[in-house]
Amino acid sequence: MTTKLRRVHVTCLVLLLLFLSGCTGDSTRLRDLLPGSAGAPEITAPDSIVYTGRSSQIVISAVGDIMMHGPQIRAQLDPLTGNYSFANNFRWVRSYLLLSDLAIGNLETTLGRPNGPFTGYPTFNSPDALARDLQRSGFDVLVTANNHSMDTGTAGLRRTASRVESYGMVAAGTRTARTDSTWNRFTIRDITVAFAAWTYESEPHQNRRTINGIPIPEGQEYLINSYNPANTTADLPRMASQITEMRASGADLLIFYMHWGEEYADEPTPAQQELASWLAGQGVDIIFGTHPHVVQAVEFLDETLVVWSMGNFLSNQRYESLRNRDTEDGIMVHVLVSKDHEQNQTTVTEVHVMPTWVHRYWQGGADGRLVYEILPAANVVADPDYFGIQDDALLERIGASLDRTRQTIFP
């Protein structure tokens, strides 16, 4: 049986960092807790979390859409070597991901054509180096079921999953073989987590399921967990079957990661709310949402934690191109899960929401290049000098993003 303690915090993750690293000291400056600073505490392995044999704890972290628009891809190319590197994108948030026991993100691109062309919207295809650097930045699971999964066809879908797994991560929501499981299972310190990822479908074409208007070839529907949001009659039994299998496997915690809703919408649709209520009624413990590209509310439906939309973790979407500042915002959600092994009871103890903002700027003047970096917004506002933020207008923009996210999480 799983119960929930309804505690949701918007934080700069200093407390979580202290908890995980085993550090104490109220007088420690924020600067000294940031990754890469001279006074930063040593980041220890996750076994620093309580594990006595009678009880144990893990932290599960999730982020939203990891997108690769054309300007981003071009910015990561080293013209001297011809190689791509995305490591700098995650330099300010990498430590938080590495502290997590299970870090999850939505890979909203494909790795379908290794020799290019590498393209952004509307047909996404990225270099393999992206998966490599996501793994090095701390990700354990990349969701590969979304509305761009078919951008390079079924061959690209298969290759994307294979390349993600070749770097030691789990590709969730898509498969390369019919016999592969439709969900994933993780056991960490005797806590077993069952995880399923799903994406919405576009309108059917000639009685065929479609992803973003691209028909799934007949007989290959097994490649992706997808559902028809307009008519879930045929799909709810498939989800129910997964849940039954998860429980039968001895899972302590059930997570569904849903690519759903309407782009740029501030609130979930009635169809989402209905589906979330159904999942909650089936015993799903946590629902993480993506696709709207903006942050939406975090709440509990009865005993189920629902993060409706985590926004953009990394993208080129911003006010300058879309006249929508909300697309610049994202959140990292860190869920502390505890298990009492004697009582066989698993509890979501705390939920920490870390607001993020994508900093895009020119480096090197007119002849320079674009730089993209994900910033922990609350940390930046607290100590802008550490992050090299010296422009008052820029700091105000980051502060406005932080305020928007806080108001969304706590309306």
* Domain parsing of the chain, residue ranges: 2-22+33-409
> What pLDDT was estimated at residue 53?
63
> What pLDDT was estimated at residue 365?
73
Measure the CA–CA gap between 3 and 7, rounded to whole angstroms: 12
Please choose, from the candidates 355, 57, 383, the residue with its C-alpha nearest in 3D space to the C-alpha of residue 193.
57
Measure the CA–CA gap between 356 and 375, rounded to whole angstroms: 5
> What pLDDT was estimated at residue 10?
62
> What pLDDT was estimated at residue 3?
46
Spans in the chain with pLDDT lower than 70: 1-53, 366
> What pLDDT was estimated at residue 367?
76
Average pLDDT taken over every residue of the chain: 89
> What pLDDT was estimated at residue 22?
37
Which DSSP letter does residue 12 get? -
CA–CA–CA angle 362, 366, 370 (5° rounding): 25
**Assigned CATH topology for domain 2-22+33-409:** Purple Acid Phosphatase; chain A, domain 2 (3.60.21)
Host H or E run for residue 237: helix 236-248
Which DSSP letter does residue 181 get? -
Q: Which residues pair with 354 in a beta bridge?
A: 332
Measure the CA–CA gap between 371 and 393, rounded to whole angstroms: 18
> What pLDDT was estimated at residue 368?
86
Q: Is 304 helix (H, G, I), strand (E, B) or coil?
A: strand
Token representation of residue 226: 């997808």
Q: Which residues pair with 228 in a beta bridge?
A: none
Write out pLDDT tens, residues 31-52: 232 333 333 323 233 333 445 5
Measure the CA–CA gap between 374 and 313, rounded to whole angstroms: 7
Host H or E run for residue 395: helix 392-409
> What pLDDT was estimated at residue 152?
98
Host H or E run for residue 320: helix 319-322
Give the list of residues 6+ apart from residue 39 with CB closer than 8 angstroms, or none: 28, 29, 31, 32
Do 398 and 375 meet the contact criterion of CB atoms below 8 Å apart? yes
Token representation of residue 81: 């070597």
Measure the CA–CA gap between 89 and 131, rounded to whole angstroms: 13
Q: Is 246 helix (H, G, I), strand (E, B) or coil?
A: helix
Measure the CA–CA gap between 91 and 102, rounded to whole angstroms: 19
Do 85 and 78 meet the contact criterion of CB atoms below 8 Å apart? yes
| Total residue length of the chain | 411
Do 111 and 160 meet the contact criterion of CB atoms below 8 Å apart? yes
Could you give the angle at which helices 153-166 and 129-136 cross, rounded to 10 degrees? 30
CB-based burial label for 281 (10 Å; 0-12, 13-18, 19+):
exposed
**Which residue bears the tokens 């900093």?**
359
C-alpha dihedral sign at 65, 69, 75, 78: positive
Phi, psi of 178 (to 5 degrees): -60, -30
Host H or E run for residue 136: helix 129-136
